[in-house]
């Protein structure tokens, strides 16, 4: 486990980035671990194969010939009502 103070991290970010090649880098704040710096590869291993909602939606197959029942209310069926905005 590699640990670096937040002050050291701010002074030498590239040192911390190089250290992630060996594993996670714990960044401490007043001696207490506060943050963890990981490579993207390690992060993906940690969280698994999760996808965003946008990714999942883009994976859906769309059938452009599909019949979709959509019967919107016609404006003649909608009645207006008065509103007091005073």
Q: Which domains are present in the chain?
A: 2-52 (3.40.1620.10)
Q: Which two tokens stand for residue 52?
A: 């965003």
Q: What is the DSSP letter of 73?
A: P
| Per-residue pLDDT tens digits for 12-65 | 999 999 999 999 999 999 999 999 999 998 988 888 877 777 777 777 766 666
Closest listed residue to residue 26, CA positions, set 46, 49, 1, 51: 1
Q: What local confidence, expressed as pLDDT, does residue 66 receive?
A: 63
Distance, CA of 5 to CA of 26 (rounded, Å): 8
How much is the pLDDT for 82? 87
pTM comes to: 0.55
């Amino acid at each position: 486990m590699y640990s670096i103070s937040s002050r050291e991290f701010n002074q030498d970010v590239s040192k911390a980035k190089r250290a992630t090649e060996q594993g996670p880098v714990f960044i401490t704040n007043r001696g207490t671990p506060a943050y963890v710096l990981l490579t993207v590869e390690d992060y993906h291993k940690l969280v698994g194969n999760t996808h965003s909602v946008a990714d999942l939606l883009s994976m859906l197959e769309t059938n452009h010939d599909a019949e979709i029942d959509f019967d919107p209310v016609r404006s003649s069926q909608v009645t207006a009502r008065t509103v007091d905005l005073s």
